[in-house]
Amino acid sequence: MAAFAAVMTGQGLGAIATVQLFGDSAEDVLRRVFRTKGGKPFEPADGRIVLGGIVAGGEMIDEVTIGCEDPHAFAIHCHGNPLIVERIMEVLQRQGAQAVAAEQLFVRALTSKKNLDSIRIEAKLALATVKTIEGAAILANQVKAGLSERIRQWQNRLDSMPLEEVVAEVGDILERSEPARLIISGCIIALVGPPNTGKSTLLNTLAGREKAIVSDIRGTTRDWVSAEIHIPPLAATVIDTAGLDSSIAASGGVEQAAQQKTAVMIERADLVLLVVDFSQPVEQLSEPVLKLLAGRRVVTVLNKADLPSRFDPASVPGQWGPAIQISAKQGCGIDDLICAIHRVCHVADFNLHTPVAFTDRQTHLLKALRHSGSNFKARSILSDLIESLLLNTGGKYPTEVS
Ligand SMILES: Nc1nc2c(ncn2[C@@H]2O[C@H](COP(=O)(O)OP(=O)(O)OP(=O)(O)O)[C@@H](O)[C@H]2O)c(=O)[nH]1
Ligand SMILES: [Mg+2]
C-alpha cells in the first residue's frame, strides 16, 4: 500500500496549483485530510469533482476542489500561492504520502495502466515537454499507432518475412527519427563566422528584437547570446557566437576564451549557420575556421547582400551546404534562409504520421535490431522495445518504476 504526492504545476505564483495524489492508498490519505463543503461524506467516483477543504489539526489550510480521476488518482486543485502548496504537501506527507517529482509520479501512474507499452508511455511523457505543435502530433501518433504498432507487425510477420526487410524498414525509421527529434525536442542553431560579418544582426532579425549588441568594431560579441525562435515545424535556440579569428585564437585572455566557447557551441549545435560577409573576398574564411565545421550540418549565409559583392559563391565548397544571400540589416532573404534550414534539417514536409524513434532507448534498440543477424535475437530486441522498463534503458526519462 503506497501513496505518492507531486506538485504538477510550475513553481512561482499562479492563481491555481495542482497537487496530484496517486497510489493504492491515495484515497485513505485523502480521507484523513479532506472535508467536503457542507460536511457531507466524501464519495469519490471516477470523473467527479468535489469541493471542500484540506484541513490539519482542525485548521483549514485551503479551499480546494478534488478531481477524482480513478480509484487511485486524485488531482487536488488549490490556490497557487507556493506557501499553500508547500503546506498541503506537508500535510499529505504527514499522512503517509511520499513526495515525488511530477515526472516520477507521471511514470508511476502510466506504468500502472495495463494497456500501455513502454513506447506509448514514453510518448505520453514526451508530450509533457514537446517543443512544437507538430512534435505533439508526431508523439500523439506514436501513442495511437506509430512505432509501437509497427513493432507488433514485425513480431507477427517475422517468420514469414525475411529479416533483411525488417532491417531495411528499421533503417528508414532511424533516418526519419533525426528530423523528428529536432521537431519534438527543439534544435540548436549556432551563428558562426569571421568577425563583423553580421551574426549578431542576424540573431536580432531572427528574434525580432535587439538581443545582441551590434557594432562595426570587430570582436564585438565575446560571450554568446541566445534567442528562442519559432520557425514551424522547428523551435530553435539560436546562439550568436564570437567571430572566429585564427589570428587571436592563441592570443590568451578573454579573446581566446571566446574563441574556445565558439568551438564548443559548434560541437553542441544541430545546425551551424556559417555567416560570411558578401561584400568581402573569400579570404575572410581561414583554414582553421573551416576545419571546425568539418562533419557539421551547415548552411552558408552570404550576408550584406545589399552591398556590392566581392565574394564568389562558387568558392563555397559544397560541404558547407547551400549558400543563401541575405541582408540581415534590411531583413531580406530571411524566408529563403528559413527554407534552407528546413531543407538541410529534413523537416520540410515531414510526415507527422510516420513511425519514429523519439528516445535514446528506442534509437539504441533499433540500431541493435539492425545488427541483430538472427530472428531469435531480433525477437528479443522487439520485445525489449515494447516491454523493457524505462528504468534500465538510458532513455530520455530514466525515472524509477516500481
Ligand atoms: N550593409 C549591411 N551591413 C550589415 C548587415 N548586417 C550587419 N551589418 C553591419 O555590420 C557590422 C557588424 O555587425 P554585427 O552584427 O555586429 O557583426 P558580428 O558578426 O556579430 O560581429 P562580431 O561580434 O564582431 O563577430 C555592423 O555595423 C552592422 O550594422 C547587412 O546585412 N548589410
Ligand atoms: Mg557579434
Q: For residue 192, give the nearest of 231, 242, 236 by alpha carbon.
A: 242
> What is the gyration radius of the CA atoms in the chain, in angstroms?
27
Find the ligand nearest to 192 CA.
1
CATH number for 247 = 3.40.50.300
Residue 321 resides in a domain: yes
What pLDDT, on the 0 to 100 scale, is given for residue 234?
96
In the reported structure, the alpha carbon of residue 304 is separated from the centroid of ligand 1 by a whole-number distance in angstroms of: 8
Residue 358 resides in a domain: no
96 and 226, same structural domain?
no
316 and 196, same structural domain?
yes
Residue 214 Cβ < 6 Å to ligand 1: yes
Residue 57 resides in a domain: yes
What pLDDT, on the 0 to 100 scale, is given for residue 283?
86
Per-residue pLDDT of the chain (402 residues; tens, 9 = 90+): 799 999 988 776 778 899 999 999 999 999 999 999 988 899 999 889 999 999 999 899 999 999 998 899 999 999 999 999 999 999 999 999 999 988 788 777 777 766 668 888 888 888 878 999 999 999 998 876 789 999 999 999 888 888 999 999 999 999 999 999 999 999 999 999 999 999 999 999 999 988 788 888 887 887 788 999 999 999 999 999 988 877 665 556 666 777 788 889 999 999 999 999 999 998 888 887 788 898 999 999 999 999 999 998 787 776 788 899 999 999 999 999 999 999 999 999 999 999 999 999 999 999 999 999 999 999 999 999 988 755 433 334 333 333
The pocket of ion ligand 2, defined by CB under 5 A, consists of 199-200, 220-221
Do 261 and 308 touch, CB atoms closer than 8 A? Answer: no
> Which CA distances in Å does 250 have to 180, 256, 266?
39, 6, 18
What pLDDT, on the 0 to 100 scale, is given for residue 288?
78
191 and 315, same structural domain?
yes
Residue 251 resides in a domain: yes
320 and 196, same structural domain?
yes
Find the ligand nearest to 337 CA.
1
Residue 327 Cβ < 6 Å to ligand 1: yes
Residue 265 resides in a domain: yes
Q: Give all strands (DSSP E) within 295-399, no chain letters.
A: 298-303, 323-325
Q: Ligand 1, closest atom to CA 204?
A: 15
**Cell numbers given for 243:** 567571430
Do 366 and 167 touch, CB atoms closer than 8 A? Answer: no
What pLDDT, on the 0 to 100 scale, is given for residue 285?
86
pLDDT in tens, 113-159: 666 688 888 888 888 789 999 999 999 988 767 899 999 999 998 88
Distance CA 38, CA 51 (A): 9
pTM for this model (two decimals): 0.80
In the reported structure, the alpha carbon of residue 255 is separated from the centroid of ligand 2 by a whole-number distance in angstroms of: 13
Do 231 and 212 touch, CB atoms closer than 8 A? Answer: no
In the reported structure, the alpha carbon of residue 179 is separated from the centroid of ligand 2 by a whole-number distance in angstroms of: 29
Q: Which amino acid is at 130?
A: V
What pLDDT, on the 0 to 100 scale, is given for residue 395?
37
Residue 204 Cβ < 6 Å to ligand 1: no
Residue 306 Cβ < 6 Å to ligand 1: yes
Domain finish residue from 296, 325, 344: 344
Mutate to test the pocket of ligand 1, among 192, 200, 326 (most ligand atoms within 8 A of CB): 200
Q: How many CA atoms lie within 13 A of 74 on its CB side?
A: 31
Residue 307 Cβ < 6 Å to ligand 1: yes
Q: How far is CA 361 from the centre of its chain?
A: 15
**Number of folded domains that form the chain:** 2
Give 131's DSSP letter. Answer: S
CATH number for 81 = 3.30.1360.120
Which helix (H) or strand (E) segment holds residue 192: the answer is strand 187-192
Q: For residue 366, give the nearest of 175, 225, 217 by alpha carbon.
A: 175
337 and 235, same structural domain?
yes
163-185 and 375-387 helices cross at what angle (nearest 10)?
30
Q: Using CA of residue 111, residue 117, residue 118, residue 124, what is the dihedral sign? A: negative
Residue 220 Cβ < 6 Å to ligand 1: yes
**Cell numbers given for 5:** 504526492
Domain finish residue from 42, 67, 100: 100
**Cell 532513455, located at residue:** 395
Distance CA 385, CA 400 (A): 17
Find the ligand nearest to 332 CA.
1
Residue 315 Cβ < 6 Å to ligand 1: no
Domain finish residue from 72, 100, 128: 100
> Which CA distances in Å does 232 have to 75, 175, 177, 326, 337?
34, 20, 17, 20, 13
Sequence-distant (6+) residues with CB within 8 A of 97 are 3, 4, 5, 21, 23, 26, 29
Mutate to test the pocket of ligand 1, among 192, 196, 306 (most ligand atoms within 8 A of CB): 196
Q: How many helices (H) and strands (E) does the chain have?
A: 13, 13
Residue 18 Cβ < 6 Å to ligand 1: no
Do 224 and 240 touch, CB atoms closer than 8 A? Answer: yes
What pLDDT, on the 0 to 100 scale, is given for residue 396?
40
> Which residue CA neighbors atom 13 of ligand 1 most closely?
198
In the reported structure, the alpha carbon of residue 346 is separated from the centroid of ligand 2 by a whole-number distance in angstroms of: 28
Residue 328 Cβ < 6 Å to ligand 1: yes
Q: Ligand 1, closest atom to CA 332?
A: 31
What pLDDT, on the 0 to 100 scale, is given for residue 327?
98
200 and 84, same structural domain?
no
Q: Using CA of residue 199, residue 204, residue 210, residue 215, what is the dihedral sign? A: positive
Residue 167 resides in a domain: no
Residue 213 Cβ < 6 Å to ligand 1: no
Residue 301 Cβ < 6 Å to ligand 1: no
Residue 215 resides in a domain: yes
Residue 334 resides in a domain: yes
* Domain limits for position 21: 4-100
Distance CA 119, CA 388 (A): 9
> Which CA distances in Å does 254 have to 197, 203, 222, 248, 273?
20, 22, 8, 10, 24
Neighbours of 146 (CB within 10 A): 23
> Which residue CA neighbors atom 27 of ligand 1 most closely?
216
194 and 331, same structural domain?
yes
Q: For residue 241, give the nearest of 253, 226, 227, 230 by alpha carbon.
A: 226
In the reported structure, the alpha carbon of residue 201 is separated from the centroid of ligand 1 by a whole-number distance in angstroms of: 6
335 and 189, same structural domain?
yes
